[in-house]
């Protein structure tokens, strides 16, 4: 299993205007430097008449690949602010290209830094940040009198409740991060005086968006 990490969910675009200059952020999840470079080249071709196409990307490896470019903007005013958004959000396997169409008014170095950073941030928000991690699916069957205790244990500790089935017993289906499974089971045993029926399924590498899990 791969380690846990944060990335983006999908290809996205966002635009901001600063003193009539257009800053268009294009964002893509990528898993190799070749993918990132091809995307950058495609954006540059699409916006061939733009003054600047600045970029940054982070590719997860044993030694991460981190690159950025100001593409003609003053040094440190474009590529680095874009990269700082990726690093600040701890996002891996993603590329951001911010295209600038000059609006006739100079922004100054501080203005450029803010504009490129803001555009990159808007692009990330449009693409949606996702958390990738390993989870194990757990089934817990208990008597109705124990519903409250189980619900509290699940929600209070940030576990992901998939479903609750009501028959002669109550059956909870839950995703638990792999490293937390052992402690979770101990807690359930203690809370229910060892009367809960607990089953484990396989380990999954999951994508979590806004607290909702998607099976890969």
Nearest to 74 by CA among 111, 42, 41: 111
Where in the sequence of the chain do the CATH 3.30.70.240 domains occur? 133-215
Contact 122, 23 (CB under 8 A): no
- Give residue 143's pLDDT: 94
Q: Where in the chain is the domain with CATH 3.30.230.30?
A: 5-127
Torsion of CA 28, 115, 55, 90, to 10 degrees: -60
**Residues 164, 182: Cα–Cα separation, whole Å:** 21
Architecture of the 133-215 domain: 2-Layer Sandwich (3.30)
What's the chain's Rg over C-alpha atoms?
A: 23
Write down the pLDDT at residue 103: 83
Q: CA triplet 202, 208, 210: central angle to 5 degrees?
A: 150
> What is the rounded CA–CA span in Å between residue 174 and residue 192?
17
The whole-number mean pLDDT for each consecutive block of 10 residues of the chain, a chain of 216 residues, reads: 78 94 96 96 95 95 92 94 95 96 86 96 94 90 94 88 93 92 94 93 81 65
- Kindly report the length of the chain: 216
**Cβ 80 vs Cβ 98: under 8 Å:** no
Distance between CA atoms of residues 84 and 81, nearest Å:
5
What kind of fold does domain 5-127 have according to CATH? Answer: Ribosomal Protein S5; domain 2 (3.30.230)
Q: Quick one: pLDDT at residue 153?
A: 92
């Amino acid at each position: 299993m791969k380690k846990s990490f944060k990335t983006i969910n999908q290809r996205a675009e966002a635009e901001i205007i600063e003193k009539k200059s257009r800053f268009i952020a294009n964002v893509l999840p990528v898993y190799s430097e070749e993918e990132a470079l091809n995307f950058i080249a495609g954006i540059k071709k699409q916006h061939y008449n733009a003054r600047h196409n600045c970029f940054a990307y982070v590719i997860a490896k044993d030694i991460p690949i981190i690159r950025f470019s100001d593409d003609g903007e003053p040094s440190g005013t474009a590529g680095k602010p874009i990269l700082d958004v990726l690093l600040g959000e701890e996002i891996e396997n993603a590329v951001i290209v911010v295209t600038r169409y000059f609006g006739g008014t100079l922004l100054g170095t501080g203005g450029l830094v803010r504009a490129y950073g803001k555009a990159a941030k808007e692009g990330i928000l449009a693409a949606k940040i996702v958390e990738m991690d390993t989870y194990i699916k757990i089934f817990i069957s208990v008597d109705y009198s124990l519903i409250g205790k189980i619900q509290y244990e699940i929600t209070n500790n940030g576990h992901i409740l998939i479903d609750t089935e009501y028959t002669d017993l109550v059956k909870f289906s839950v995703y638990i991060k792999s490293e937390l499974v052992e402690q979770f089971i101990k807690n359930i045993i203690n809370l229910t005086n060892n009367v809960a029926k607990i089953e484990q399924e396989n380990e999954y590498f999951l994508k979590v968006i806004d607290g909702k899990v998607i099976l890969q």
